[in-house]
Amino acid sequence: MKVSVVIPAYNEEKRIGRCVQSIVDQTEKPDEIIVVDNNCIDKTAEIAQKLGARIVKEKKQGMICARDAGFDAAQYEIIARTDADTILPQDWISKIKKTFEDPTIGALSGPATFFGTPFVSRFSNSATYAWFCILGHILGHPAMFGPNMALRKSVWEKTKPNVCLRDCDVHEDIDLSIHLSKIAKIKFDKDLAIRTTRGRWAKIFTEYVVRLMKMLAAHRKENLN
């Protein structure tokens, strides 16, 4: 089983090095690391390339476009995706491979610890897991978390014609979950944990929830029509 790791990036020179290094340091190495250069004007691509990543350029700005470019460029049967501000545990790839030994699993995700203040670091893993349990109950199926996900390339090929393309309208990871769940089984594994920045935690009760409610309403209306 071969794994491609995709990292969308826009001006991440301060973070991309430690992210890619955490992938290089995996106990089971990925078969390729793809960093999507989404119009970076800093040294993101240069740093990533020196660490062994393949650079894919995407001129259309936005997380969804960058993600899709990376997924399309991935050469192998499992696509693992993370973000440039994330640090991955050394067994991340091995856990992903182990999960996909089950042929019924189409996609996989897990929670995160938000590094920063001791309080946030201590409780954020349990809190994100609880949040995704609640979100999964709302959706009727598990949801995927952008910095910590993996899916089969074959599932992506079937799902990509249907995903939403405007970042301002959706949370791209939740939108992907909704469309993907129609054709494949998603597993959310509490033991597949990563570390990422606390900025995500700070936003979860502000624009995150507002955009989520609008997105769910739009998808519900679409399903009714």
DSSP bridge pairs for 32:
4
Q: Which residue has the higher pLDDT, 210 or 201?
A: 210
Q: How far is CA 213 from CA 22, 63, 133, 176, in A?
A: 34, 20, 16, 16
Quick one: pLDDT at residue 24? 98
pLDDT at 169: 87
Instruction: Kindly give, in sequence order, each residue whose CB lies less than 8 Å from that of residue 29, ignoring residues fewer than 6 positions away.
Output: 93
pTM of the model: 0.90
CATH pick for 3-224 out of 1.20.200.10, 1.10.10.10, 3.90.550.10, 2.60.40.1730: 3.90.550.10
105 forms beta bridges with 185
Burial of residue 108 (CB within 10 Å: 0-12, 13-18, 19+) is: buried
Note the pLDDT of residue 90.
98
Per-domain boundaries in the chain: 3-224
**pLDDT value at residue 191:** 95
The pLDDT-based confidence of 108 (bands split at 50, 70, 90) is very high
Residue keyed to tokens 């992938």: 23
- Tens digit of pLDDT for each residue in 164-199? 999 888 999 999 999 999 999 999 999 999 998 865
Q: What is the mean pLDDT of residues 130-141?
A: 93
Is the per-residue pLDDT at 119 higher than 80? no
Whether 118 has a pLDDT exceeding 90, the answer reads: no
Lowest mean pLDDT among 45-49, 56-60, 84-88, 110-114: 110-114
pLDDT tens-place string over residues 194-209: 998 865 555 555 567 7
Summarize the confidence of residues 85-99 as an average pLDDT.
97
Q: Give CA–CA dist 103/197, Å, rounded.
A: 33
State what percent of residues in the chain have pLDDT above 90: 76
